[in-house]
Structure 1
């Protein structure tokens, strides 16, 4: 009797899990399908220097028109929103690389909101280069770890047989794989 109840409980949990995945997928698909509407929603904003909303007054100093400000802003928010969805739903090992264009759009959004700048999108690469370096390093490290797990390569053994000056220590064919660490001033001895 208890086994039957545990099976029923397991099936209920599995059904809840599947319905939750279906609901999440439906919401994500709906957001993606409505993203063009989000982008073109700047058209409902009047073409004026200031625009009063229930949240407060929005003024466009740099663009001289609130509709142009929202056109530029939504042109950056729409792809950013799609990249965020892609980042959180991607199952590939390289999904961290998606953070690079996301960071680019974040910088562009900040530049757009800062009305005092003379030229937008001109020097953002200075802010993005450290992010690219960090994410590329992280992604490459993850790739190496996955490669090692898939092919069973133990790089620690390889590092033990390579000296710091670049010389590779010769290992006899009948040697075991558990190698002692070799320093530059000594040779490998079995």
Structure 2
């Protein structure tokens, strides 16, 4: 019975190792092809009208080449940030959402052919940052509290109940 369970456990570990190797290989391949994906913009025409035997499309940019260059400058970092976000094992990986959403807003502005590319996205980023940054800080606080074995939430609540002067608050900042 012991020998069978050892064999089953060994097979399970081999399957897990194979899945990990295949998954890692796919991630490496996705990252390795990113420079080739970036330079795909060079295959776009250098005019405002893109004519093929299937379709004719016109752009409001100076050329399709320029549009594709702008788009690859937004989509490739977005692509790499998505890979990083989904493969990161650290507790702080949620903060990657901030630049991720920035590139999403910029890509959306580019696709909508907005003339103020990279200017208005900061306004749209404020609500995202107001949610993500405090959430990441709370996760960080919880993780470090578990590591230290201290219940800082109770200490924090007690500190809020005490009356303090402005001078006491300033001294605390530089402690």
Query: Does the alignment reach a TM-score above 0.5?
Result: yes
Instruction: Give the alignment of 1:161-180 within 5 angstroms.
Output: 161-162=158-159, 164-166=161-163
Task: Provide closer, same or farther for how the CA distance between residues 150 and 16 of structure 1 changes in structure 2, counting only shifts above 3 A.
Answer: same
Unaligned runs of 5+ in 2: 165-175
Report the equivalent of 1:78: 76
Aligned-residue CA RMSD (Å): 2.1
Report the equivalent of 2:2: 3
Report the equivalent of 1:114: 112
Instruction: Give the alignment of 1:4-23 within 5 angstroms.
Output: 4-23=3-22
Aligned residues: 164
SS state of the match for residue 78, structure 1? Answer: helix
TM-score normalised over the length of structure 2: 0.84
Bigger Cα Rg: 1
TM-aligned CA deviation for residue 57 of structure 1: 4.8
Of the two structures, which has the highest relative contact order with CA contacts closer than 8 Å and spacing of 6 or more? 2
TM-aligned CA deviation for residue 83 of structure 1: 0.6
User: Deviation per CA, 1:141-179, whole angstroms, max 9, x where unpaired?
Assistant: 000100110000012432464453536xxxxxxxxxxxx
- Quick one: distance in 2 between partners of 1:76 and 1:55? 27
- Quick one: distance in 2 between partners of 1:67 and 1:152? 57
TM-score normalised over the length of structure 1: 0.78
Report the equivalent of 2:91: 93
Unaligned runs of 5+ in 1: 168-190
SS state of the match for residue 50, structure 2? Answer: strand
Q: Structure 1 residue runs of 4+, over 6 Å off?
A: none
TM-aligned CA deviation for residue 12 of structure 1: 1.1
Question: Higher helix share goes to which structure?
Answer: 2
Task: Provide closer, same or farther for how the CA distance between residues 54 and 132 of structure 1 changes in structure 2, counting only shifts above 3 A.
Answer: farther
